[in-house]
Every structure is written in C-alpha cells, then in structure tokens.
Amino acid sequence: MIKVLSYPVKSGDPGWPENPTFQFEQYTSTERGDVANQYMLHLFNHFGSHMDGPNHFNPNGIKLYEVPVEKFVYQHPLLLDVQKRPEELVNVSDLAPIQSELASADLILFRSHFSRHRESDPDLYAAHGPGISSELSKYFIENCPNLKAVGMDWMSLAAYQHQEDGFLSHQYMLGNFHDRYILIIEDLNLEGLEASDVQTVVALPLRVHGVDSGPCTAIAIAAKFDRALT
C-alpha cells in the first residue's frame, strides 16, 4: 500500500510565524466561457510540506534543484515516536530505541503526534512546536554515514521558541561545517504508519531553478496501514 505523507497545499494552513503562506487566483475559467481552467499560484517555498536544500542555510551549499535524485529515495527508513511537549527539543538520548539501526538508516521520520494541532490550534502548531536540537543534528552528521534526510510531523527542524539553536541545527544538517549534508523534510503527516511496515519512502520536491528549497510530495510504501488514520 501507498500513503501520502505530505499535506495538500491549502490557503489558510499554518506557516512559520510572519512568513508568507499561499494564495491562488483563477486565471481562466470554463464557467466564464474560457476553453480551460488555469490558476496563478503564489506559494512561499517554505510553506506546508517542504524540503530544505543545503543552500537554505549554507551560502556555499547547492540548491534543491541541483541535489542528485537518489537523495530523494529512501530504502532504509526509520520511524521514531518521540513524546514531546510544545517547544521541547529532540535530543540524542531520544534515539535509544533505534540506536542499533542508525548506521544503515537513510531516513529518520520523527513522529510526535503534534500534527494533531495543525487544524485544531494552528497558532500552537506554528509558534510552539517541538524542534531538533543542534546537538542531535551534529550527531547525525558525525555518526550516521548513510543518512540522507530527516522528516518530522511538526512545523520546522527549528522550534520557534528556540530559534538560535534551531538555526545552528539547520547549519549542521545542511553542511555549513562539514563536507556532507542531510536534507530536511518539514511539516509531514505521519499518522497511520507502523514502524515495522514502512519499507520505502520517496520524497520528490518541486525543482525550481535558482531556489534553495521547495514544496515536497512524500509517499510511504508499506505492507499495510491503519485505514482509520489514513
């Protein structure tokens, strides 16, 4: 079975505080007598489910359209449940349940279930979500040689309330201090997944020439899913 992990791009959904989000307008309309329906999209590239490329925080890093396509396919993904309160950071100690599998992992998906606030309390979701500590990002770079990406079911790698550490965390992941980078996939829906069932994940970003990062459609291929949560 296949499950979509990305949210549809939708006007009104939460975004990083004070950043633009998404609007659209109809350009041509069959209801107005035009031959086809067409739309003009005004989309901020760090809104909704999206992937951070190296150039997002690294001035010497490549942009997302330059990333090799094999970096978007994950055949050894790990799903890790982390129970985090608002504004709390994920640290190295949280990796204990998957420690033996880290060496071979090419993707780690962090599920906090914070995504349940996305519609019910968008302000909480946007401004008070968890984050991944700079200590953990540095650990990934130095100890996980096969890791190509990390994803999470909250707004950003950085917690809005811990921005200085969050910016450093991005810098570690995106190659500012090392010769390698790890892609970041933010704002995913990981409900309905079972860790033992996820076999392959594919995350294909919108490839726009000259742009650091972009919206991303991620799918998981698994033996089964909980239909009640998909």
Q: What percent of the chain has pLDDT over 90?
A: 93
Structure confidence at residue 229 as a pLDDT band (50, 70, 90): very low
Specify the 3-state DSSP secondary structure of 217.
strand
Q: What is the mean pLDDT of residues 213-223?
A: 93
Are 184 and 171 in contact, with CB atoms under 8 Å apart? no
Give the pLDDT confidence score for residue 197 in this predicted structure.
78
CA distance 58 to 110: 23
pLDDT score of 195 more than 90? no
CA distance 182 to 63: 13
pLDDT score of 224 more than 90? no
Structure confidence at residue 147 as a pLDDT band (50, 70, 90): very high
Q: What is the mean pLDDT of residues 79-87?
A: 96
Residue ranges and CATH numbers for the domains of the chain are 2-7+45-229 (3.50.30.50)
- Residue 19's alpha-carbon distances to 44, 46, 154, in angstroms, are 8, 9, 16
User: H or E stretch including 204?
Assistant: strand 198-205
Are 16 and 157 in contact, with CB atoms under 8 Å apart? no
In which residue are the tokens 């972009």 written?
214
Give the pLDDT confidence score for residue 194 in this predicted structure.
87
Tens digit of each residue's pLDDT (9 = 90 or more) over 117-141: 999 999 999 999 999 999 999 999 9
- Tokens coding 37: 């329906």
Q: What is the mean pLDDT of residues 158-185?
A: 98
Give the pLDDT confidence score for residue 85 in this predicted structure.
94
DSSP state of 120: H
Nearest to 86 by CA among 144, 161, 141: 161
CA distance 106 to 87: 27
